[in-house]
Amino acid sequence: MSIITLTSDYGSKDPFSGIWKGILCSLSPDLQMVDITHSIAPANFLEASYIINSVYHNFPKGTIHLIAIEEMDVLSINYIAMKKDDHFFIAPDNGILSLIKPEFRTDAIHQIDIESHEQNTSGMAVMSKSAVYLSQGGAISMLGKPYVSPKTITPRNPVFFDAQKQLQGHIIYIDRRGNLITNIHKSVFQKYISDKPFSIALPARNNITRITNSFRDIKQEAVTFALFNENQLLEIGINGGSYRQSTGASHLLGLSLQDKITVEIV
């Protein structure tokens, strides 16, 4: 039986994540479930996709990932199952699945028809029954007809402006310590910046002119740093100021999700 992971914006205070797991256990008491997180900010698709893209490939192939972000009832939205990179993803058709490794080929995507038109069937139940079916070796094609036009979300990509000699990206995630993760991948940075002198201009006259190899190399307290994280994305933080979000780079620099980060060749 495959592993089933759970990711949602239900939070930890409300009963919804518990209800969801109760439905799954009722369907299959021996089910192997793993919570990724239920602390996604409500309807924050960027945050959800960053976490899922960071985590899913660490699970065995064939794992089923349930994603409830801005989850609605079955009468107002379709639910879909997608196979990609030898993993299964089940979610409402609200665009979240288009952000899961968009550079990878989608092997299959099907609308879920399991009791989808019964008035008292919740979205949790539809996703749960589908997941249990797949975990027991069921074929994704049996969940429903191929889904040809799922909703999509087009993420911002970094842009290089040749005239200004600037690479511009955006903040896509802020971790619990206030570190800023951008959408500038190491390969993009190397393509446009390479070994040229550069400056990352930040508020409060903070300029970063070098990339740190790892957190272990940061010795000076209160210094602003940049490195490529485990996802090879440019991350910006403040050493010693990031033990909690209220003293991290986001708060101290006054930067938020979707704010622009500019790397300039000097």
Give the span between the Cα atoms of 29 and 198, in whole angstroms.
56
- 40 and 124 both lie in a single domain: yes
- 104 and 166 both lie in a single domain: no
For residue 200, give the amino acid letter.
I
> What pLDDT, on the 0 to 100 scale, is given for residue 172?
94
pTM: 0.89
CB environment 252-266: b (16+ within 10 A), e (fewer): bbebebeeebebbee
- 80 and 187 both lie in a single domain: no
Q: What angle do CA 29, 32, 37 make, to 5 degrees?
A: 115
Q: Is residue 148 part of a domain?
A: no
CATH number of residue 181's parent domain? 2.40.30.90
Give the span between the Cα atoms of 17 and 263, in whole angstroms.
41
The DSSP call for residue 40 is P
For residue 145, give the amino acid letter.
K
- 111 and 198 both lie in a single domain: no
> What pLDDT, on the 0 to 100 scale, is given for residue 123?
87
Give the span between the Cα atoms of 222 and 14, in whole angstroms.
37
Nearest to 235 by CA among 102, 54, 96: 54
Tokens 């622009």 found at:
260
* C-alpha torsion angle, residues 57, 148, 112, 34 (rounded to 10): 10
Structural domain of 204: 159-265
Number of CB atoms found within 10 A of residue 38's CB? 19
Domain count for the chain, please give it. 2
86 sits in the region (left: phi over 0; alpha: psi -120 to 50; else beta) called left
- End of a domain among 93, 108, 142? 142
Q: Is residue 151 part of a domain?
A: no
- 3-state secondary structure (DSSP) of residue 111: strand
Give alpha helix (H) positions in the chain: 16-27, 45-55, 123-135, 186-192, 249-253
> What pLDDT, on the 0 to 100 scale, is given for residue 238?
85
Taking a C-beta distance cutoff of 8 angstroms, is the pair 196, 265 a contact? yes
CATH number of residue 70's parent domain? 3.40.50.10790
- 107 and 215 both lie in a single domain: no
What is the per-residue DSSP string for 148-168?
S----------EEETTTTEEE
Residue count of the chain, please give it. Answer: 266
- 131 and 233 both lie in a single domain: no
Give the span between the Cα atoms of 169 and 158, in whole angstroms.
4
Per-residue pLDDT of the chain (266 residues; tens, 9 = 90+): 799 999 999 998 999 999 999 999 999 999 999 999 999 999 999 999 999 999 999 999 999 999 999 877 666 789 999 999 999 999 999 999 999 999 999 999 999 987 644 555 788 999 999 999 999 999 999 999 999 999 999 988 999 999 999 999 999 999 988 899 999 999 999 999 999 999 998 987 788 999 998 877 776 666 789 999 999 999 999 876 655 556 688 988 899 999 999 999 99
Give the span between the Cα atoms of 193 and 265, in whole angstroms.
7
The pair of structure tokens assigned to 180 is 């800023």
- 96 and 167 both lie in a single domain: no
C-alpha distance from residue 28 to each of 19, 21, 65, 186, 205 (Å): 14, 10, 16, 43, 57
Q: Is residue 95 part of a domain?
A: yes
Q: Is residue 23 part of a domain?
A: yes
> What pLDDT, on the 0 to 100 scale, is given for residue 213?
87
> What pLDDT, on the 0 to 100 scale, is given for residue 114?
72
> What pLDDT, on the 0 to 100 scale, is given for residue 224?
87
Give the span between the Cα atoms of 81 and 74, in whole angstroms.
14
Q: Is residue 153 part of a domain?
A: no
Q: Is residue 150 part of a domain?
A: no
- End of a domain among 79, 113, 142? 142
Q: Is residue 109 part of a domain?
A: yes
